[in-house]
Amino acid sequence: MTDPAHPVLAGLHGIRSDLESLYEDLHRHPELGLREHRTAKRASDALRGCGYEVTDGIGGTGLIGILANGEGPIVMARADMDALPVREETGLPYASTATVTGDGGTEQPVAHACGHDMHVSCLIGCARLMAQAKGAWRGTFVALFQPSEENGEGADTMIKDGLTSKSPRPDVVLAQHVLPYPAGYVGTRSGSFLSAADSLRITVHGRGAHGSTPQAAVDPVVMAAMIVVRLQTIVSRELAATTPAVVSVGSIHAGTGPNVIPDSAVIQLNVRTYDHASRTQVLHAIERIVKAECEASRSPKAPEIEKTATFPPTVNDETATRRVAEAFATHFGDEAHAIDLQTASEDMSEIPKAFGAPFTYWGIGGIDPDLYAQAAENGTIAQDVPVNHSPTFAPVIQPTLDTGVSALTVAALAWLGT
pLDDT at position 3 is 74
Query: What pLDDT, on a 0 to 100 scale, did the predictor assign at position 418?
Result: 80
What average pLDDT score do residues 140-144 get?
99
Q: Is residue 341 a contact partner of residue 156, using CB atoms and an 8 Å limit?
A: no
Whole-number percent of the chain with pLDDT over 90: 97
Average pLDDT over residues 363-385: 97
pLDDT in tens, 148-202: 999 999 999 999 999 999 999 999 999 999 999 999 999 999 999 999 999 999 9
Note the pLDDT of residue 2. 58
The per-residue pLDDT for 214 is 96
pLDDT digits (tens, 9 = 90+) for 14-41: 999 999 999 999 999 999 999 999 999 9
Give the amino acid at 64: I
Q: What is the DSSP string of 197-266?
A: EEEEEEEEE-B-EETT-GGG-B-HHHHHHHHHHHHHHIIIIIS-TTS--EEEEEEEEE-SSTTEE-SEEE
Express each pLDDT in 287-315 by its tens digit: 999 999 999 999 999 999 999 999 999 99
pLDDT higher than 80, residue 104: no
Instruction: Please tell me what DSSP assigns to residue 4.
Output: T
pLDDT of residue 33: 97
The four Cα atoms 79, 148, 166, 363 give a dihedral, to 10 degrees, of 20
Whether residue 228 is predicted with pLDDT greater than 60 in this model: the reply is yes
Run of H or E residues at 132 = helix 116-132
Q: What is the mean pLDDT of residues 265-272?
A: 98
CA proximity to 336, closest of 185, 193, 174: 185
Dist CA 381 CA 373 (whole Å): 9
| Residue at 93: amino acid letter | P
Q: Which residues in 80-110 are b (16+ Cβ under 10 Å) and which e?
A: bbbbbbbbbbbeeebbbebeeeeeeeeeebb
The percentage of the chain sitting over the pLDDT mark of 70, rounded to a whole number, equals: 99
Q: Would the pLDDT of 1 be above 70? A: no
3-state helix, strand, coil in the chain (%, to 5): 40, 30, 30
When pLDDT is averaged across residues 50-70 and rounded to a whole number, the result is 98
Residue 68: count other Cβ atoms within 10 Å of its Cβ: 16
pLDDT averaged over every residue in the chain: 97
pLDDT attached to residue 105? 85
Residue-level pLDDT at 274: 95
Distance CA 185, CA 376 (A): 15
Q: Note whether 231 and 273 are within 8 A (CB).
A: no
Mean pLDDT calculated for residue range 68-95: 98
Average pLDDT over residues 50-68: 98
What is the spatial distance between Cα 16 and Cα 124, in angstroms, rounded to a whole number?
A: 11
Taking each helix axis from N to C end, the angle separating 37-49 and 12-28, rounded to the nearest 10 degrees, works out to 160
Q: Which of 309, 305, 318 is nearest to 347 (CA)?
A: 309
Closest CA to 282 of 199, 190, 191: 199
Burial class (CB in 10 A: 0-12, 13-18, 19+), 150: buried
pLDDT category at 4 given cuts 50, 70, 90 is: low
Beta-carbon contacts of residue 175 (< 8 Å; ≥ 6 apart)? 77, 78, 79, 346, 348, 359, 361, 362
What structural domains does the chain harbor?
A: 6-194+313-416 (3.40.630.10), 196-311 (3.30.70.360)
Q: How many CB atoms lie within 10 A of CB 382?
A: 9
Task: Compute the average pLDDT of residues 259-271.
Answer: 98
